[in-house]
Amino acid sequence: MEQLTQFAPFILMFVVIYFFMIRPQQKKAKQEKEFESTLKVGDKIITKSGLHGKVSELADTTVVVETMSGKLKMERSAISMEMSAILNKK
């Protein structure tokens, strides 16, 4: 019984870390993956580096984005879910 009370603070810390750090990160990663899979031609997007454009072609892991200066090929993961959502709400 004494050993259990000795490890109780460590168990409690792990539970707190899981619910406040690990679980939200997993949830956000799942949302980003879902967002990447639902992209379609014609969607207006903003990349994580701040480039604005419109999706013109889709492949498995890449997209071709049409910008004012031309077309760019980039990874789907380079598209910002939050910034693109704000852009599309306007």
Same domain, 24 and 46: no
Number of domains composing the chain: 2
Domain that holds residue 2: 1-38
Q: Does residue 54 sit in the same domain as residue 71?
A: yes
Note whether 69 and 51 are same-domain residues: yes
Alpha carbons 47 and 84: distance in angstroms, whole number: 8
- Identify the pLDDT of residue 75: 96
Q: Is the pLDDT of residue 4 over 90?
A: no
CA torsion 30→47→65→42, rounded to 10°? 60
CATH code where residue 45 lies: 2.30.30.700
Query: Could you report the per-residue pLDDT of 50-90, keeping only the tens digit for each?
Result: 999 999 999 999 999 999 999 999 999 999 999 998 888 86
Q: What is the structure's pLDDT at 62? A: 95
Residues 22-49: pLDDT tens digits? Answer: 999 999 999 999 999 999 999 999 999 9
Q: Answer yes or no: do 59 and 29 share one domain.
A: no
